[in-house]
Chain A
Amino acid sequence: MNTWLLLLPLLIPFAGVPLTLALRKRRRIQSALALGLMLAALGFTLGLLRAVLTTDQPVSVQMGLWQAPFGITLTADPLGVFMALMSQIVLTAGLIYSLGSTEKVVQYPTYYPLFLALATGLTGAFLTGDLFNLFVFAEIIVISGAVLTAIADDAYGVEAAYKYFYISTLASVFFLLGIGSLYVSYGTLNLADLAARIASTPSAPLTMAGIAFLTATFLIKSAAFPFHFWQPDFHAAAPTPVSAMLSSLVVKVGVYGFLRMTTLLFAEQADLLKTLLVVVGVAGVLYGGFGAAGTHNVKRMLAYSTLAQIGFILVGIGWGTPLSLAAALVFTFNHALIKAAMLMLAGAMASRAAVKSASFEVVVGVGKYHPFAGVLFLLGGMALAGIPPLNGFISKLMIFWSGVESANYAALAIIGVASIVTLTYVIRSFIRIWFEANPKAKEKAGDRLLAPALLVFLSLLLGVWAEPLVSLSQWAAAWLGDPALYIAAILR
C-alpha cells in the first residue's frame, strides 16, 4: 500500500505527459485531465505524508525490487515528503492558474505535457534516494523549465532560456564531477549507503572534491549569490504560471540538496560548508533585497526577492541547530506559497495592463480597477515581509529566534536589517500598482485570480494556524538531526 503511496505521486505526473500529449487536439479535456492528475497526485502525497507520520518511519521502495544500494531507491523520509507535498500543492495552484490564463502559451499542445514533466522532475528530485537519479530528475526540471520559458509569449523568453540552459549545463557538469568523485571514493550512489560509507571513512582522496562540486551545483540550482545570474532573467521572462513554479519550487531543489549534504551525506565534514552557507546566504539576503528594490519589473522584483529569501533559508541551514533547520523548512514551505501567489498576481496585473508586460512603467496604476487583486497583493506582500498574521511572519520569527538561540548575532543583525528592505520594495510596488494613477490603464479582463487567492488564503491560514506546519517541520528537522535513522531505514 505504502509502496503505491510513494510511487503514484511520481508516476501519475509522468504518465500524464504522454496522456495529455495524446489529447493535444482537445485542449479542454487535456487541461482538465492535467489538473485532475495533479490533484490525484496531491491526494496520494497527502496519503504518503500520513503514512510516514503514523509510522514515524520513512517509506521506501526499491525499483524492480533490486535491494539497495544496487537498485534505485525511492524514499519518502520526513524531509522528502515535506518537500514533495510543498511542490504538489504549488504545482496544483500553477495548473489552476494555467486554466484561467490568457497567455497564448497555455494553448500550445505541449504546454500541459511540459508542465506535468516539470511536476515529475520536482516530485522525483525530492523523493529519490539515489544521487545519480537526483541528477536525472534535476535535468528533467532544467529541460522542461527551459522549454516552457523559451516558448513564453514574452519575447525575451528565448534569451532567458538560453542563459538558464548554459548555466544549468555548468551545474550539470559540476554535478557529474561531484558524482564521479564520490563514486571513485565510495563505489556507490545510493544516498543512504553513501552516507554510511562516508561516515565510516570520512576522508577518501576525492571526498572534499566531491563536496566542493556538489556545493557548486546546488549553489547554482538554488540561485544563491554569486551563482544566481540565471534566476532574475529566467523567472521574469517565463510564462506566469511557470515562473511561479520556478521561483517557488525549482530553486528549492538546491535547498534540498544542501539539507541532504549537511545533515546526511557529510554530516561530519559539513562545518566549513555550513559556514559557507551562512556567508552566501547573508550575501544573498543583501544582494537580493537591494536588487528587488532596484529593478524595473514586478516579476523581476519578485525573482530578486526569491534570491533574498533563499538567503534566509541557507542561513538557517548553515546555523544547523534543530530550531534553525525547522525554521529553514518552514521558511521553504511558506516562501513557496507566497512567492507563487505573488508572481501569479504580478502576472495577472501584467495581463490586464495596456501592453502585456510586468515592467513598472506599464503596470503602474493598473490596480485601480482590481481592488481584490490589491488586497491579495498586499496580503501576499505582508507575508513576504514577514508581517503577522501571515505565514511569512512565522518563518521570520523562527529564523530570528534560532539566530538568537544559537547566538549568531552578526548574521542575525545583517538579515534583520535587510528584512526591512523587503518591506520597502513590497510596499513600493503595491503603491505603484494600486495607488499611483495611470491614464493609460483601462478596465480590462485578464488571467483569473482564483489560484493566487487560494494560495494567499493558505498563507493566511498557515499564519493563523501555524501549529501543523511548525510541528511538521520540527519533526522533519528532528529526523535530519539523526542520519543514522535514515540510513537504517533504507538499508534495513
Chain B
Amino acid sequence: MSQMLQVSVPLFLVYLALTGNADPANLVVGALVAVGISLLRPKMNLPLLNLKRLPQFLWAGIRYLFVVAGDVIRGGISTARIVLDPNLPLNPGIIAIPSGTRSELGTALSAHSISLSPGEMVVAIDDEGVMYTHCLNVDDSEKMVADAQNLRKNLLSRMFE
C-alpha cells in the first residue's frame, strides 16, 4: 500500500504538471492513471517511510535540496573560473569518497548530487558505497566534497532510516 502510494502520489503530481488543470474530473482521472501505472511497477526495495514521519522527511528533503544547490553554485563558479581562465588551472584526478551507506538509493542520491555539481563527477561506485569521483581540482574538491558528504549523509539518514 505505502509502496503504491510512494509511486502513485508523485505520479499524480506529474500528471497534474503535464495536464495543467485542476478540474475535479481531471484530478480523478489523474488519480486513476497514477494508480494504474503504479500497479505496473516492478517490486522495488524502496525504504519504507511511515506517514507520521512525513513532515520530518519533507523538512530534511528541503534542506538537502539547499545543500545540493549550494554545492552546485559553488562548483559552477569554480568551474567557470577554471574554464574562462586563459591558462586553464586544472588539477584533475579521481578520488575515492565513501558515501557512508550501503543502500542503493542512498548511494545513488549522494552520487547524483555530487555529480550534479560542476567540478565533480562520480565515475564508478563499489558495493561498499565508495564513490570514485573525478574532480577538476583534486585538492580543493577533496575536503569540500568530504564534509559536504557528511552533511548529505545525515540528512539522508533522517529522511529514511
Direct A/B contact, Cβ within 8 angstroms: no
- Residues of A near any B CB (own CB < 8 A): none
